[in-house]
Structure 1
Amino acid sequence: MTVLSVSHLSKCYANYASSLERFAGWFGAPVKPIEEFWPVKDVSFSVTAGEALGLIGQNGAGKSTLLKMITGTVRPTEGAAQVVGRISAILELGLGFNPEFTGRQNAFHAGGLMGLSQSRLAELMPHIEDFAEIGEFFDRPLRTYSSGMHARLAFALATADRPEVLIVDEVLSVGDSYFQHKSFDRIRSFKAAGTAIILVTHAMGDVRTLCDRVILLDKGHVLKDGPPDEVIDYYNALIAAKENEKLTVEQRREKDQWLYTRSGNKAVMVESIELTDSGSGASVKTALSGQSLTIRARITAKEAVPELVVGFMLKDRAGHVVWGTNTWHTNQVLSKLEPGDKVECRLRLSCALGPGSYGLSIALHTGDVHIDSNFDWIENVEVFDVINSTDPFFIGTSRLEHAFEIVR
């Protein structure tokens, strides 16, 4: 069932030559503004019950304006947003809170603004206090709170009564690790119970973990709407592309459904990459857990570059990063490559992975991250399976050396 429907939603902020012209425009007079700014333009999507949607994009992409129109705190210029049931949102830290009120008073006050009755809030108050875990500060003025305590109170209030739609906008990033885990457990339980989730964050790991679908906003428009791995990989490549106008982005799905994303300015390129057994040198498509593997990458410089850093990264089937490093961090940066120079980079590693499918990515760049002078960056250039045929059964993506000791 669709619980949120956004149809051609747009917001325009206009500047007029005078306040009188602005006032006349409110009443439908044909007054043309001298300047218009559209932070959101013609955005449409829908969210079903139990679906988690990630909303990502760089600062200024229009995410916050879009959320404010969905929740009704900002009136759209065009289009409409329809919600079936109650919507609860944490858009800004302490939004609707009074710094002179105590946490308890703010919960009653802000909860009333959310549409909850005072009797219902009184019923929920012990649960809000228990979940926030701020102790005696719950009855102290909000001005004495840290940002983390603000986040605890705001989240505890917004999720005290399960809504049909829950919007979380970046606020959890200020909380401590314990509360972040606790909050995401509650979000997952709401999702399982049928609440639609809209998560706005720059933490792509959280998006991959929680979301079923991701929308990428850029300059107020929907640039991409699809599976998390596809949209996030495209977003990462887009960020790098904005650093260099010569950079290109290519994305496609292979027949095995792994997403292949390649970007770079092509000053240095990967010619071939192969995963092999370290002992025999044979190509590997299915590795044994614990096997010694070697990644061989052949690289050619197309232009003169002052330095080259080679990086590798492993992801699991869900797109979560399992491991990664590069030659910047191992102090093995190559310098002064000339056009036509060829390099073979070999990385030997123990396959300390659990059974499953994994994607190997490679990046050629300068500096410690690929955003600096991105030459060639390929997500999921190689996909391989790992099986366990020798060790006792275990779960997870990591094969940890272990030994039980039983004392009676």
Structure 2
Amino acid sequence: MASDTVISTSGLSKAYRIWDRPSSRILSPIQASLASVFGQRTPIGRKLLERASSHYRDFLALNGVSFEVKRGESFGIIGRNGSGKSTLLQILAGTLRPTSGSFSVRGKVAALLELGSGFNPEFTGIENVILNGAILGVPRSEMMKRLKAVEEFADIGDFIHQPVKTYSSGMLVRLAFAVQTMVDPDILIIDEALSVGDVFFQQKCFRRLEELRERGTVIVLVSHGMNIIEQYCDRALLLHRGNVVSIGPSPEVIKQFYLIHRDASLPTKPRPRSAKPTNATNKKRDISVPNEWPEERAFFDISKINQVADGSARCLAVGLTDTAGEPKRRFEQGETAYFYYAYEILTDLETPVVGIVLFNNRGIIVPGKNTLEYGSVMPERVPAGTILRFRHRIKLELEVAFYTIEVGIASIAAHDARMADQFSHDDLTARVRRHCHLTGIGPFEVCYRLHGKPVQLLHHGIANLDGGVELLRDST
């Protein structure tokens, strides 16, 4: 195992025995024992073994899971309910034994699993801090030195002196997070804990996680919030029915998750990650062609980028120019850029939905917008064999940084598209079918303005917001 590999699993599986009735727990081992008495190779022995195994079935919560995590990496684990995420975390945390396979963790492991796990409900908050420190191998004297920092981070006031059975769920998470991150773990495992608490506590948590990551701590994070995984985790692992579907950059793996979420009948093996033409006609219809399609050097090389697709469409090109149509990779703050992308439609689709997302150098989504959000007019049906070309205009009022691009195409029923403004966000999102996504295209750069007015820097922070300041009253 390489020296910078902190977590390694190989063929990890976990099976649970499901009994058909309570009495089977007694009958099965008795019949298996009798088979040994008569001899398992004798006719009666084989019959007894057959009856013993008929009382149960084995459920594979995990099936042959293999992956590695490097030092200082943030690693997300995603999947639908029942996919095996929590089982995997419990094995990594050492609270559950695998049925087969092997795993290795190097260093001190701190885990935030089930709410309140590791806490004695009768002990006060302070007593539980000392107890958890002892469990993690931190001496009492050292935990007493860190107690003030734990209290300040948890920020639960005088409740720190009360039994934790009196705590709300938010208070439990605050204290647990404070303890687990103050013991300087080599590996920190978090199962949904960041979804609890107000926005101020969440911001505090992410700042603390960033500090740990800079020290080389591995962060393993499970969350149903895809935006958290996409923006915080370097890589992600997608589980489906206990099987590994995909491992890779988190934005790419998340697109695979959406395909699974859409298709409940997805097989346990992963879909092909590069879309191949299926039923497209040989003669391609080319519609939605802009007046000016840029020259070849305006386009990025996407030949080595995985296309997360379901076989309905594939991306042909992604390009970038300035307003004059000239290829460009470096823009001043506030300049307008034109993004071009083209898709080949491989099966008949309903109303297409296309869009673009920009990620800054910290992996944070800055703008992200699609044709539904713009209210763009799209054809109600697109036949197989069509090539769709799009031009997407964005005013780059962004912070000075390097950016990468994500593009994607989806579809929605024509009647749903016409009534899009009548749906809630969640309802509308559920009606959109994702077909093809590419991430990690680029990069391009946004730099300081050379001759900016009123000043060179257009704004502070990630993005510019429309507004202004006016003097209401002069107090002099």
| Same fold (TM > 0.5) | yes
Per-residue deviation, 1:90: 0.6
Match of 1:352 in 2: 397
TM-score (norm 2): 0.69
Structure 1 residues 257 and 25, CA, compared in 2 at 3 Å: closer, same or farther? farther
Q: Give the structure with the higher percent strand.
A: 1
Q: Following superposition of structure 1 onto structure 2, how do residues 1-400 of structure 1 map, counting pairs within 5 Å?
A: 1=3, 2-16=5-19, 18-21=24-27, 31-32=52-53, 34-116=56-138, 118-240=140-262, 242=264, 250-251=273-274, 259-264=305-310, 266=312, 275-278=320-323, 280-282=324-326, 284=328, 286-295=330-339, 307-316=351-360, 319-332=363-376, 334=378, 336-337=380-381, 339=383, 347-353=392-398, 354-366=400-412, 372-374=431-433, 376-380=435-439, 383=442, 385-388=444-447, 389-390=449-450, 391=452, 392=456, 398=463
TM-score (norm 1): 0.78
Task: State which structure, 1 or 2, has the greater radius of gyration over its C-alpha atoms.
Answer: 2
Per-residue deviation, 1:192: 2.8
The aligned amino acid for 1:42 is G
Per-residue deviation, 1:355: 4.3
Tell me the distance in 2 between the aligned counterparts of 1:337 and 1:174. Answer: 43
Deviation per residue, 1:294-314 (Å, 9 max, x gap) = 456677888776644443333
Tell me the distance in 2 between the aligned counterparts of 1:66 and 1:305. Answer: 38
Structure 1 residues 283 and 115, CA, compared in 2 at 3 Å: closer, same or farther? closer
The question of whether the paired residues in 2 share the 8 Å contact of 1:241 and 1:249 is answered with no
Find the residue that maps to 1:329 and give its secondary structure: helix
Structure 1 residues 21 and 148, CA, compared in 2 at 3 Å: closer, same or farther? same
| CA RMSD, Structure 1 to Structure 2 (Å) | 4.3
Per-residue deviation, 1:134: 0.5
Deviation per residue, 1:58-94 (Å, 9 max, x gap) = 2222111111122222222123433344321111111
Tell me the distance in 2 between the aligned counterparts of 1:232 and 1:362. Answer: 13
Find the residue that maps to 2:184 and give its secondary structure: coil
Per-residue deviation, 1:171: 0.6
Structure 1 residues 272 and 167, CA, compared in 2 at 3 Å: closer, same or farther? closer
The question of whether the paired residues in 2 share the 8 Å contact of 1:164 and 1:195 is answered with yes
Match of 2:282 in 1: none
Per-residue deviation, 1:43: 2.2
Structure 2: 5+ residue stretches without partners? 37-48, 276-299, 417-424, 471-476
Q: How many pairs were matched up?
A: 403
Tell me the distance in 2 between the aligned counterparts of 1:346 and 1:269. Answer: 17
Find the residue that maps to 1:158 and give its secondary structure: helix
Find the residue that maps to 1:198 and give its secondary structure: strand
Per-residue deviation, 1:161: 1.4
The aligned amino acid for 2:364 is H
The question of whether the paired residues in 2 share the 8 Å contact of 1:244 and 1:265 is answered with no
